[in-house]
Amino acid sequence: MSSLLHASHTVHEVKAHYVWSLKYRKSFLFKKEYQSRVKEIINEIGERYWYRIDRMGTDGDHIHLLIQSNPDDSFSKIVKTIKSISAREMFKSFPELKRLMWGASLWETGYFVRTVGDETTTVMIKKYIEKQGYQRGVKAEQIVMF
């Protein structure tokens, strides 16, 4: 299956690795019933918002996601959408979580995100950009940004 996504005027492949923690670093995601339900909820969110959830894993107190998304969706919007809906649905499915989380939210405020590529790496992109102009016999000076 191609990892390229097609829209009306774009072809794109935007993938990122996301990580965020449960509030107070509670480690209840070791429980299979919680773990399977949160995965089910996040997959449903992915289908609804056109996020392709490639991988999902947990170490009990935090969650890792590899998501392919539309370039119009900011990283913060993706995180906000997944965190808010998953928290609401988890509290609805497991009312005891409210007590476990001392009535607070399910997820910590912060998150980690890093873009990722498949075969295309940063080194390859740098080399490709540096070689621009050589195919036509034109060698332009590289633009120095900083």
What digits encode the pLDDT tens for the residues 78-103? Answer: 999 999 999 999 999 999 998 888 87
Nearest CA to 66 out of 21, 13, 3, 16 is that of 16
Cβ proximity of 98 and 91 under 8 Å:
yes
pLDDT at 119: 66
**131 contact partners, CB below 8 Å, separation of at least 6:** none
136/22: higher pLDDT: 22
Report the mean per-residue pLDDT for the chain. Answer: 84
Burial category of 108 from C-beta neighbours within 10 Å (exposed 0-12, middle 13-18, buried 19 and up): middle
Domain with 86 in it: what CATH number?
Answer: 3.30.70.1290
- Asked if the structure places residue 136 within a domain, the reply is no
Domain that holds residue 101: 5-118
Number of residues in the chain:
146
Judge whether 139 lies within some domain: no
In a domain? residue 140: no
Checking if the pLDDT of 139 tops 80, the result is no
Assigned domain for 144 exists: no
Does 71 map to a domain?
yes
Q: What is the mean pLDDT of residues 8-27?
A: 88
Q: Is residue 124 part of a domain?
A: no
Report yes or no on 133 lying in a domain. no
- Report if residue 77 sits inside a domain: yes
Count of C-beta atoms within a 10 Å radius of residue 49? 15
Domain total of the chain: 1
Which candidate, 85, 117, 107, places its Cα nearest to that of 17?
Answer: 117
Tokens 């492949």 found at: 13
